[in-house]
A = this chain, B = another copy of it.
């Protein structure tokens, strides 16, 4: 037997195959191919499709799978598909989901449907749903699942194994350990399935369980949860309340999604885009969202223009200034962005805090000073060769040095400052920084020229 190579080829090629079948018009074959995929893969297919194809393909997805596919879609596309579904259909889809998945979906449903969904649940499911909804999304509690298997420390491994065999639904997904609790439901430790399998069945859970896994408080910041999973290589980790009662567990698949979202947020945020931005979103929706960012940028651009405007007569006397001023501003922007990027990542990874900020600040300013000495000389030499003016050459060198120093100062201080006042540095940091470097660059260069040259 050889492995079916068709199934190990890159996804792009499998997508191509599906596209080809779709275009050939063979709906039955395409439907079969589509529904053989994992819900996450179907979501991926939908997201790589053009809007008009999406509707067709969404109609092909088997009813029971639709709920799960919705969970894997980005917010934009999910909202769009939900808008087009009949409330009764949404209700069916919602009821078929597991409680934890339902908790994720329910926040996106229209209010009337939410009420209907809640009414249709039995008491146990409603309670679980409420536990899952009780914590903010960006905490350990918001990330957790409530489905888990707990065991008592005094029983033997053999008893545990017989208990597991009697479970009618099997073990929850991504179960690598059972949570050991006392009579009051308080956390004691975890029993890894690997230890359950490799130890003497007559040993007790208490003898074999691992005490070293620290449970996470439900209020713990989600970013800290992700850092712990990364550092400690967890597959799942228990979540407790302040009294140590086990509330649920967090699984690595959700943490991986979180890391990806955080990363997307950082990356997309720099361009003023939302991390849920759908590449194939409708033109008008995209245009409206982007317009806001362009408007913000326009304000800062006019601030810079206003600064230049203060020096109109200087520029008229010495047009070389107009030619060279973008060089001063852009050198500051680049240097500042480097420091800003380093600081934003340092905060995200927990490496940077108010405690070691002064050190980063000192280092970044030293780096800027060295680089400004090097590049200011180069720029001055070019300016002198170009315009033959020692005055312009000296002034651009000084202006670049000033701007690079201010840039690294602003780049290091901005993220922590914004973080403290509750503004997202990944979103606002870049705009504010380049405003600073534009204004300081133009002011230093044109101001010095006005004072000394004209």
Binding site for B on A (CB under 8 A): 1-3, 5, 7-8, 10-12, 15-16, 19, 38, 40-41, 44, 47-50, 72, 161, 164-165, 167, 170-171, 173-176, 182, 186-188, 193-200, 214-217, 220-221, 224, 227-233, 235, 240, 242-244, 252-253, 255-257, 259-260, 262-264, 266-268, 270-273, 277, 279-280, 283-284, 286-287, 290-291, 293-295, 297-298, 300-302, 304-305, 308-309, 312-313, 315-316, 319-320, 322-327, 329-331, 334-335, 337-338, 340-342, 345-346, 349-353, 355-356, 359-360, 363, 366-367, 370-371, 374-375, 378-379, 382, 386, 438
Contacts and interface: CB of A to CB of B under 8 A. Distances in A.
B298 A327 contact: yes
Contacts of A220: 8, 10
A304 B313 CA distance: 23
Shortest 8 CB-CB contacts between residues of A and residues of B: A263-B263, A40-B231, A3-B244, A322-B322, A233-B253, A271-B341, A287-B370, A171-B194
B327 A293 contact: no
A1 B182 contact: yes
B341 A327 contact: no
A257 B230 contact: yes
Given A232-B40, A326-B304, A221 B48 contact: no
Contacts of A195: 170
B326 A326 contact: yes
Contact of A198 (B171, B263, B438): B171
Nearest to A230: B256
A243 B5 CA distance: 9
Given A188-B1, A308-B322, A327 B345 contact: no
Contacts of A374: 291
A235 B232 contact: no
28 contacts: A1-B182, A7-B214, A11-B350, A15-B350, A16-B355, A40-B231, A48-B351, A164-B198, A165-B198, A170-B194, A170-B195, A176-B176, A193-B193, A229-B256, A235-B252, A259-B260, A264-B345, A271-B340, A277-B342, A279-B342, A279-B346, A280-B360, A290-B367, A291-B375, A300-B330, A301-B331, A308-B326, A315-B315
Contacts of A323: 305, 308-309, 312
A363 to B, nearest CB: 6
Contacts of A338: 271-273, 290, 293
A272 B319 contact: no
A115 B49 CA distance: 52
Contacts of A252: 235, 252, 256
A216 B11 contact: no
A260 B223 CA distance: 13
Given A11-B227, A297-B334, A165 B286 contact: no
Given A164-B197, A233-B253, A305-B326, A293 B334 contact: yes
A3 B295 CA distance: 51
Nearest to A243: B2
Contacts of A230: 40, 253, 256-257, 260
B367 A283 contact: yes
Nearest to A369: B287
Nearest to A165: B198
Contacts of A173: 233
Given A256-B229, A264-B345, A302 B382 contact: yes
Contact of A175 (B194, B256, B305, B371): B194
Contacts of A242: 5
A231 B41 contact: yes
Given A194-B170, A268-B345, A294-B375, A305 B280 contact: no
Nearest to A192: B171
B346 A44 contact: no
Contacts of A49: 356
A2 B187 CA distance: 8
Contacts of A7: 214
Contacts of A330: 297, 300-301, 304
B322 A315 contact: yes
Identify the interface centre among A231, A329, A346: most chain B CB within 10 Å of its CB: A231
B326 A283 contact: no
